[in-house]
Amino acid sequence: MSILVNVHGGTAYVETDFGTSPLGATAHLPLNKLVWGDDSISNRVNETTPLPVQIMAVTGESLVVSGSLGASGSFGIENTITGSTLHYLAVAGSTDGATPVGVTGTVSVANGLTTGSTVSIRALSSATDSVTVTGGVSILGSLDLNSGTDSVSVFGWDGNRYVNTTLYGGDGTTIGNSGDALNVNLVNAGVTFSVNIGATVGVVNGDSGLVVQGLSGGEPITVKGRNGEAVEVVNSPGSAVGVTGDFFVDGTQVTKISEITRPSTIISGYTLAAVTATVLPSNSLKTGITVKASSVNTDLIYVGNSGLTGGVTANGYPLQGGESVFIECNNSNLVYVVGTTGDTRGVHYIGS
């Protein structure tokens, strides 16, 4: 409802609205707008010029609030300015103001720094801080590095870990290489090397046999084998090894037989010795033959060569009945036997 009233120089309307309990809807209350300021300025209360409010105690002094003071919604905090002096707002990580406040994200200065301004930056800690660098970093001047904390990585032109390097001599000549080996040339004489050589040095044949030659009038060459110093003589592909010349020189040489080819057949027989030298049948032998006098013989059998004789003046090897003798030879026809008149004179033989 509007009420018309007289004002200085004319009339104006005063707006009202229905009231509430306890008077009821029949009463009207005037609608008022607050204005604040001094004797020269009047500020209407709105979002731009809000009404200043100071909470005071009943005695008129400032109200002291104990405990936590809560706030609903968001509100700004501004620094105070006394004249031209800006009072900084202290922000700390603890109530005592001693612990620094950690800043995460990007920190920028919006309006720049004026001449004489100071920006204090604390040292970074690996336990709490991290720095991300995007793009390239250029270093002007010298950089002092500490081997205990700093490291430098060097990459090749293609970004890999290998750095392509060209070496130059003192005269500017490029030093070459062959594959993965550096070319090294020894110039002039008189170069001395210290070389460690093992106790055993092997010598390998080339395309032809290894030639070992002594010095005329000097010390002879001693050749020893691997097994008991015996020299192993082997032919390929397994045929007999021919040895010519003097093999045993002074009787100190040693021959080691590592293998003997065993005979593939044996021969055996029985014959009666005559009272004159009788030759055994011819049979090729590899190792030799065993001659045995028959156990039924009552007298001696003599064994020997073609000039064999018996009796008291016999020059053969006597065998009583049941005795035997082994003879190394390559044929049984080299063995002769002779007996005594009136005896059985039986002779057994076996060989290989």
| pLDDT tens digit at each of 352 positions of the chain | 677 888 878 888 888 777 666 655 567 777 778 889 988 899 999 988 998 887 766 676 766 777 777 777 777 777 778 888 877 776 666 666 566 676 666 666 656 666 666 666 667 777 777 777 777 777 787 888 888 888 887 777 777 767 778 888 889 888 888 888 888 877 776 777 788 888 887 777 777 667 777 777 777 777 777 666 667 666 665 566 666 666 666 666 666 666 677 888 999 999 999 888 899 999 999 889 999 999 999 999 999 998 888 776 678 899 999 999 999 999 999 999 998 888 888 999 999 9
* pLDDT at residue number 14: 80
Task: Give the residue from 347, 336, 338, 300 showing the smallest Cα distance to 320.
Answer: 300
Radius of gyration of the chain measured on its C-alpha atoms: 65
- CB neighbour class for 309 (10 Å; exposed up to 12, middle 13-18, buried from 19): middle
* pLDDT at residue number 96: 66
Round to whole Å and give the CA distance between 2 and 122.
Answer: 67
- CB neighbour class for 334 (10 Å; exposed up to 12, middle 13-18, buried from 19): middle
* pLDDT at residue number 62: 65
Distances in whole angstroms, Cα of residue 80 to Cα of each of 65, 87, 88, 101 = 21, 5, 8, 21
Q: Cis link prior to 52 (omega < 30° from 0)?
A: no
Task: Name the DSSP letter for residue 47.
Answer: S
* pLDDT at residue number 147: 86
Give this prediction's pTM.
Answer: 0.32
* pLDDT at residue number 258: 62
* pLDDT at residue number 120: 65
